[in-house]
Amino acid sequence: MKRILTYATGTALFAALPSFAQEAKTYPAPGEIVAAAKAEEWIAIAPSDLLVMDLAPDAKSKPRRVVIQLMPAPFSQGWIGNIRKLATAKWWDGTSINRVQDNYVVQWGDATDKKALPEGLAVVPESAYATQYVPGAIARRWEGNVVTQAVTVGPRYGGSIYPEGPNIYDSFSQSYSFVSGIPLALSKNRVVTDTSITVTPHEIWPVHCYGMVGVGRNLSPDTGIGAELYTVIGHAPRHLDRNIALVGRVIEGIEHLSSLPRGTGALGFYEKDEERVPIISVRLGNAANDVPAFEYLSTESASFTAYANARANRRDPFFIRPAGGTDICNIPVPVRRKPVK
Amino acid sequence: MKRILTYATGTALFAALPSFAQEAKTYPAPGEIVAAAKAEEWIAIAPSDLLVMDLAPDAKSKPRRVVIQLMPAPFSQGWIGNIRKLATAKWWDGTSINRVQDNYVVQWGDATDKKALPEGLAVVPESAYATQYVPGAIARRWEGNVVTQAVTVGPRYGGSIYPEGPNIYDSFSQSYSFVSGIPLALSKNRVVTDTSITVTPHEIWPVHCYGMVGVGRNLSPDTGIGAELYTVIGHAPRHLDRNIALVGRVIEGIEHLSSLPRGTGALGFYEKDEERVPIISVRLGNAANDVPAFEYLSTESASFTAYANARANRRDPFFIRPAGGTDICNIPVPVRRKPVK
């Protein structure tokens, strides 16, 4: 008797899922919907939008490569421009993984704090943590040239809490959606004090889901350069949204970071040099060797909508009660290596 | 220039946090609120409510101990009774960690599927995944002998989506709260079909946050015995709520599980015997050696309410924008070793 937790989690980036086609009445699992998506629903990720980080081999001499997809415009482009310059200058070569805090982040960069940065890096203002949003008239659809379609996840208990947004509850914003593989939250700009909330026009911003990559910084008004990066390896720390820049997400190899020993210093920093995993090189995808072609499932596709709804209402055989809803970080955007024909 | 992500995350179970008392105007970080809690706000966890799992030492011969707090009545007591019998029978001794799936779970038990179970174990019905709730008249308070106080986290955009519940949005239920250190969701019992939602009386149930421990099972109507256990090591897989039994949470040593190499088989199962970490022993806390006294911050205490609100509205110096809300799994219930006087 092999007790397994679940037949189809859909949380692994490249989970292989069994078929239940022989069942009398079946609902496809999220992974099955993804597997059945049409070729034209997948969108190629340009190699120049990848950041490829090669760590020193592990104890068994196996290579460790982490691949990050950088975010598209208009999000965080000031920091991403810096990151492109740093990678081109081979700045990270010889730096290291310096911090691993359980259920939080892995962070990397220059442990010595003395390495000179290239010239010409931008100083990005805090206002760039979010993007202004111009509301449209179409219910349940985010307009503009960025967010072209909201995914309605439900059913839910009542109507939308935000008339123009999708029928989705979010604990941290008014609604959420995706564009170009990036999870986004939508809200009014609220300034919260002890006694009041001031509401100004709409904003959209990328959110801190598992695997998202952000820019370490000092206290405000510093926003970080992009030389010190981290990725989320635990429950989504959404309190960091709009407080820190997100620049991309890990699309392959996050296990090389998430399974590292936790640091024993404050905030999970390593205390000894020998604990830090050396970074051999960081390159843009078009300047790295042996980079496969990656593609993501279009967040505007019918298959993605079906996938998101299946994530919110699991009815594949393992499940007895669909939840009737989900949060944005439980809808990881599918990414795959482009199939070889 | 030491760029750090944040001064005070509050997500580590035992984070040490710097003081900002010298700032002109300061708000305490969540961890500072916890550190300032009164001694009487901490509640001792009975050793008999602990499950202590000792793994084989790591590659550097360091011991690896994982401590789990079993849930109080009325939640999941059928499975927990089985777990007490299995531990007393030393059933897990010589079993192993068999599955590590990134951003999902670590699972342990008998890899051979042939080890005989003790007699007298209960078969628990699916109805025990949740507990019936009798609504009371007091707004923003969960009544009954189980949930005695709801934490109001906010401010939020509108009123409560559930008149009797706290002013909290949850993507998976109508509201949430805590009791005895356990995160709980509250909802009506909804049966979702393609075309309808049938609503019946209220339920409360424990939720799948990071570190929660559950019972592996086969397809329904099997609910699992409790011999095959898992813990969450990624973003909260809330779609498992009410589909699988939760029996406790890891309160110390989760890093010994979360940092294990990911399994390369389907669903993260290890494929080779030598990949599995041996379990030396699993005992109830009152039958294990060298178990320190643990205590958790009362979820009915003023300090816990202040802590939860601080988690939802970070105003300590690193933050520039409080989120104005949070989800239940971003309010980990503080646990500590009882201070030695």
* Gap between the Cα atoms of B181 and A243, Å rounded: 29
- Asked whether the beta carbons of residue A12 and residue B109 sit closer than 8 angstroms, the reply is no
* B158: chain A residues, CB-CB within 8 Å: 161
Averaged pLDDT for residues A266-292: 97
What is the secondary structure of A169-221 as a DSSP string? --SSSSEEEEETTEEEEEEEEEEE-SS-EEEEEEEEEE---TTEEEE-B-STT
CA distance to partner chain A, nearest, from residue B22 (Å):
15
* A260: chain B residues, CB-CB within 8 Å: 259
Q: Which 3-state string (H, E, C) describes B98-138?
A: EEECCCCEEEEECCCCCCCCCCCCCCCCHHHHCEECCCCCC
pLDDT at B205: 87
- Say what the pTM is: 0.86
pLDDT at A170: 66
- From the list B126, B170, B197, which residue is nearest A320 (CB)? B126
Q: Is the model's pLDDT at B147 over the cut of 60?
A: no
Which tens digit of pLDDT belongs to each residue from A285-338? 999 999 999 999 988 788 888 888 788 778 888 999 877 777 889 989 999 999
CA-nearest residue to A169 within chain B is B171
State the CB neighbour count (10 A cutoff) for residue B272: 9
CA-nearest residue to A225 within chain B is B3
The band of A177, judged by pLDDT with boundaries at 50, 70 and 90, is confident
State the CB neighbour count (10 A cutoff) for residue B64: 18
Which tens digit of pLDDT belongs to each residue from B20-71? 344 455 789 999 999 999 999 999 999 999 999 999 999 999 999 999 999 9
Q: Is the model's pLDDT at A191 over the cut of 60?
A: no
Lowest mean pLDDT among A220-224, B269-273, B306-310: B306-310
Going from N- to C-terminal start, the domains of chain B cover 30-129+205-337
CA-nearest residue to B213 within chain A is A5
The band of A8, judged by pLDDT with boundaries at 50, 70 and 90, is very low
pLDDT at A5: 57
Q: Is the model's pLDDT at B244 over the cut of 70?
A: yes
- Asked whether the beta carbons of residue A214 and residue B5 sit closer than 8 angstroms, the reply is yes
pLDDT at B208: 97
Select the residue from B4, B26, B115, B225 to test the A interface by mutation, using most A Cβ atoms within 10 A.
Answer: B4
Indicate the SS3 state at residue B10. Answer: coil
Architecture of domain B30-129+205-337: Beta Barrel (2.40)
* Gap between the Cα atoms of A330 and A209, Å rounded: 8
